[in-house]
Structure 1
Protein backbone atom coordinates (compact mmCIF):
# COMPACT_ATOMS: atom_id res chain seq x y z
CA UNK A 1 0.00 0.00 0.00
CA UNK A 2 1.30 3.44 -0.93
CA UNK A 3 -0.24 6.56 0.61
CA UNK A 4 0.39 9.93 -1.01
CA UNK A 5 -0.39 12.88 1.26
CA UNK A 6 -0.73 16.22 -0.51
CA UNK A 7 0.93 19.22 1.17
CA UNK A 8 -2.40 20.81 2.14
CA UNK A 9 -3.55 17.59 3.85
CA UNK A 10 -0.24 17.16 5.67
CA UNK A 11 -0.42 20.72 7.01
CA UNK A 12 -3.98 20.20 8.23
CA UNK A 13 -3.27 16.80 9.81
CA UNK A 14 -0.25 18.15 11.69
CA UNK A 15 -2.58 20.53 13.55
CA UNK A 16 -3.95 17.54 15.50
CA UNK A 17 -2.11 16.29 18.55
CA UNK A 18 -1.66 12.53 18.29
CA UNK A 19 -0.96 10.70 21.52
CA UNK A 20 1.57 7.87 21.74
CA UNK A 21 0.14 4.81 20.01
CA UNK A 22 -2.33 6.81 17.91
CA UNK A 23 -2.53 7.47 14.21
CA UNK A 24 -4.93 8.50 11.46
CA UNK A 25 -7.04 5.50 10.50
CA UNK A 26 -8.20 5.33 6.90
CA UNK A 27 -11.23 3.12 7.21
CA UNK A 28 -13.15 1.46 4.40
CA UNK A 29 -16.14 -0.54 5.60
CA UNK A 30 -18.24 -2.64 3.27
CA UNK A 31 -21.91 -1.94 3.99
CA UNK A 32 -24.52 -4.40 2.86
CA UNK A 33 -28.13 -3.37 3.39
CA UNK A 34 -30.66 -2.18 0.84
CA UNK A 35 -27.68 -0.94 -1.15
CA UNK A 36 -24.15 -2.31 -1.33
CA UNK A 37 -21.34 0.21 -0.96
CA UNK A 38 -18.14 1.00 0.92
CA UNK A 39 -18.21 3.75 3.54
CA UNK A 40 -14.93 5.66 3.98
CA UNK A 41 -13.84 7.61 7.05
CA UNK A 42 -10.81 9.23 8.71
CA UNK A 43 -10.43 8.62 12.43
CA UNK A 44 -7.80 9.36 15.05
CA UNK A 45 -7.53 5.93 16.63
CA UNK A 46 -5.23 3.66 18.62
CA UNK A 47 -2.92 1.37 16.67
CA UNK A 48 -3.61 -2.32 17.23
CA UNK A 49 -1.42 -5.35 16.50
CA UNK A 50 -3.63 -6.34 13.55
CA UNK A 51 -3.16 -2.98 11.79
CA UNK A 52 -0.63 -2.00 9.18
CA UNK A 53 0.97 1.38 9.88
CA UNK A 54 2.37 3.61 7.13
CA UNK A 55 4.26 6.74 8.15
CA UNK A 56 3.98 9.57 5.63
CA UNK A 57 5.18 13.13 6.29
CA UNK A 58 5.75 12.13 9.93
CA UNK A 59 2.08 11.12 10.30
CA UNK A 60 1.23 7.50 11.15
CA UNK A 61 -1.60 6.18 8.99
CA UNK A 62 -3.42 3.07 10.17
CA UNK A 63 -5.10 0.62 7.80
CA UNK A 64 -6.66 -2.70 8.64
CA UNK A 65 -6.23 -5.57 6.21
CA UNK A 66 -10.00 -5.48 5.63
CA UNK A 67 -9.92 -1.77 4.68
CA UNK A 68 -7.03 -2.39 2.30
CA UNK A 69 -9.21 -4.86 0.36
CA UNK A 70 -11.48 -1.95 -0.64
CA UNK A 71 -8.72 0.44 -1.74
CA UNK A 72 -6.35 0.48 -4.70
CA UNK A 73 -2.66 -0.08 -3.96
CA UNK A 74 -1.84 3.65 -4.30
CA UNK A 75 -4.17 6.10 -2.56
CA UNK A 76 -4.03 9.85 -2.14
CA UNK A 77 -5.26 12.19 0.59
CA UNK A 78 -5.83 15.87 -0.14
CA UNK A 79 -7.47 18.73 1.79
CA UNK A 80 -9.47 21.80 0.84
CA UNK A 81 -11.04 24.20 3.36
CA UNK A 82 -14.23 24.06 1.28
CA UNK A 83 -14.39 20.33 0.48
CA UNK A 84 -12.63 18.85 3.53
CA UNK A 85 -10.42 15.82 3.04
CA UNK A 86 -10.57 13.96 -0.26
CA UNK A 87 -9.61 10.29 -0.45
CA UNK A 88 -8.85 9.05 -3.95
CA UNK A 89 -6.70 6.86 -6.14
CA UNK A 90 -5.60 7.22 -9.75
CA UNK A 91 -8.61 5.07 -10.67
CA UNK A 92 -11.38 6.75 -8.66
CA UNK A 93 -12.40 9.29 -6.05
CA UNK A 94 -13.55 7.43 -2.96
CA UNK A 95 -15.02 10.35 -1.05
CA UNK A 96 -14.97 14.13 -0.69
CA UNK A 97 -15.86 16.08 2.44
CA UNK A 98 -14.26 13.64 4.88
CA UNK A 99 -13.85 14.99 8.38
CA UNK A 100 -11.20 13.77 10.80
CA UNK A 101 -12.79 12.56 14.03
CA UNK A 102 -11.30 11.13 17.20
CA UNK A 103 -12.53 7.77 18.51
CA UNK A 104 -13.92 8.52 21.96
CA UNK A 105 -12.26 5.47 23.55
CA UNK A 106 -8.78 6.74 22.68
CA UNK A 107 -9.06 10.09 24.49
Structure 2
Protein backbone atom coordinates (compact mmCIF):
# COMPACT_ATOMS: atom_id res chain seq x y z
CA UNK A 1 0.00 0.00 0.00
CA UNK A 2 1.17 3.52 -0.79
CA UNK A 3 -0.10 6.51 1.20
CA UNK A 4 0.38 10.08 0.02
CA UNK A 5 -0.07 13.02 2.38
CA UNK A 6 -0.54 16.38 0.67
CA UNK A 7 1.51 19.32 1.98
CA UNK A 8 -1.62 20.72 3.68
CA UNK A 9 -2.24 17.40 5.45
CA UNK A 10 1.42 17.17 6.51
CA UNK A 11 1.31 20.70 7.96
CA UNK A 12 -1.83 19.90 9.96
CA UNK A 13 -0.69 16.47 11.18
CA UNK A 14 2.73 17.76 12.28
CA UNK A 15 0.91 19.78 14.97
CA UNK A 16 0.18 16.51 16.82
CA UNK A 17 2.52 15.00 19.41
CA UNK A 18 2.34 11.23 19.17
CA UNK A 19 3.09 8.82 21.99
CA UNK A 20 5.13 5.68 21.38
CA UNK A 21 3.31 3.16 19.12
CA UNK A 22 0.70 5.81 18.25
CA UNK A 23 -0.26 7.31 14.90
CA UNK A 24 -3.03 8.41 12.57
CA UNK A 25 -5.28 5.44 11.82
CA UNK A 26 -6.95 5.37 8.41
CA UNK A 27 -9.87 3.03 8.76
CA UNK A 28 -12.09 1.57 6.05
CA UNK A 29 -14.69 -0.78 7.51
CA UNK A 30 -17.15 -2.74 5.39
CA UNK A 31 -20.74 -1.89 6.31
CA UNK A 32 -23.25 -4.47 5.14
CA UNK A 33 -26.70 -3.26 4.13
CA UNK A 34 -28.84 -3.29 1.02
CA UNK A 35 -25.89 -1.62 -0.73
CA UNK A 36 -22.19 -2.39 -0.52
CA UNK A 37 -20.40 0.42 1.27
CA UNK A 38 -17.41 1.18 3.47
CA UNK A 39 -17.30 3.56 6.41
CA UNK A 40 -14.11 5.65 6.57
CA UNK A 41 -12.61 7.37 9.58
CA UNK A 42 -9.43 8.97 10.90
CA UNK A 43 -8.30 8.76 14.48
CA UNK A 44 -5.27 8.97 16.68
CA UNK A 45 -4.79 5.40 17.81
CA UNK A 46 -2.16 2.90 18.88
CA UNK A 47 -0.68 0.27 16.59
CA UNK A 48 -1.83 -3.32 17.05
CA UNK A 49 -0.33 -6.56 15.73
CA UNK A 50 -2.58 -6.73 12.65
CA UNK A 51 -1.71 -3.18 11.58
CA UNK A 52 0.90 -1.86 9.18
CA UNK A 53 2.75 1.31 10.17
CA UNK A 54 3.77 3.76 7.45
CA UNK A 55 6.15 6.60 8.33
CA UNK A 56 5.41 9.51 5.98
CA UNK A 57 7.41 12.71 6.41
CA UNK A 58 7.84 11.88 10.09
CA UNK A 59 4.12 11.21 10.58
CA UNK A 60 3.13 7.70 11.69
CA UNK A 61 0.15 6.40 9.72
CA UNK A 62 -1.55 3.14 10.74
CA UNK A 63 -3.73 1.02 8.45
CA UNK A 64 -5.02 -2.40 9.47
CA UNK A 65 -4.65 -5.27 7.05
CA UNK A 66 -8.47 -5.52 7.01
CA UNK A 67 -8.84 -1.83 6.05
CA UNK A 68 -6.27 -2.28 3.30
CA UNK A 69 -8.61 -4.79 1.65
CA UNK A 70 -11.22 -1.99 1.35
CA UNK A 71 -8.86 0.64 -0.08
CA UNK A 72 -7.04 0.98 -3.40
CA UNK A 73 -3.28 0.37 -3.52
CA UNK A 74 -2.54 4.13 -3.56
CA UNK A 75 -4.50 6.54 -1.35
CA UNK A 76 -4.14 10.25 -0.65
CA UNK A 77 -5.01 12.18 2.49
CA UNK A 78 -5.58 15.90 2.01
CA UNK A 79 -6.60 18.69 4.40
CA UNK A 80 -8.62 21.85 3.91
CA UNK A 81 -9.21 24.09 6.97
CA UNK A 82 -12.80 24.72 5.89
CA UNK A 83 -13.69 21.15 4.93
CA UNK A 84 -11.50 18.88 7.07
CA UNK A 85 -9.66 15.86 5.71
CA UNK A 86 -10.37 14.15 2.40
CA UNK A 87 -9.43 10.53 1.76
CA UNK A 88 -9.23 9.56 -1.90
CA UNK A 89 -7.52 7.48 -4.57
CA UNK A 90 -7.13 7.96 -8.31
CA UNK A 91 -10.24 5.80 -8.71
CA UNK A 92 -12.59 7.44 -6.18
CA UNK A 93 -13.11 9.87 -3.34
CA UNK A 94 -13.73 7.77 -0.24
CA UNK A 95 -14.92 10.57 2.00
CA UNK A 96 -14.88 14.35 2.47
CA UNK A 97 -15.18 16.22 5.76
CA UNK A 98 -13.30 13.67 7.85
CA UNK A 99 -12.42 14.84 11.34
CA UNK A 100 -9.51 13.50 13.31
CA UNK A 101 -10.73 11.89 16.52
CA UNK A 102 -8.88 10.47 19.51
CA UNK A 103 -9.32 6.74 20.08
CA UNK A 104 -10.22 5.58 23.56
CA UNK A 105 -7.75 2.72 23.68
Same fold (TM > 0.5): yes
TM-score, structure 2 normalization: 0.95
Q: How many residues align?
A: 105
**Which residue of structure 2 aligns with residue 85 of structure 1?**
85
**Which residue of structure 2 aligns with residue 74 of structure 1?**
74
Give the alignment of 1:5-44 within 5 angstroms.
5-44=5-44
Deviation at 1:33, TM superposition (A): 3.0
TM-score, structure 1 normalization: 0.94
SS of the counterpart of 1:40?
A: strand
Distance 2:99 2:14 in 1: 14
Structure 1 residues 5-54: Cα deviation after superposition (integer angstroms, max 9, x where no partner): 00000110111111111011000000113443100000100111211111
Distance 2:69 2:75 in 1: 12
Distance 2:35 2:92 in 1: 20
SS of the counterpart of 2:66?
A: helix
CA RMSD of aligned residues (A): 1.0
Structure 1 unaligned residues grouped into runs of 5+: none
Distance 1:95 1:84 in 2: 10
Deviation at 1:83, TM superposition (A): 1.0
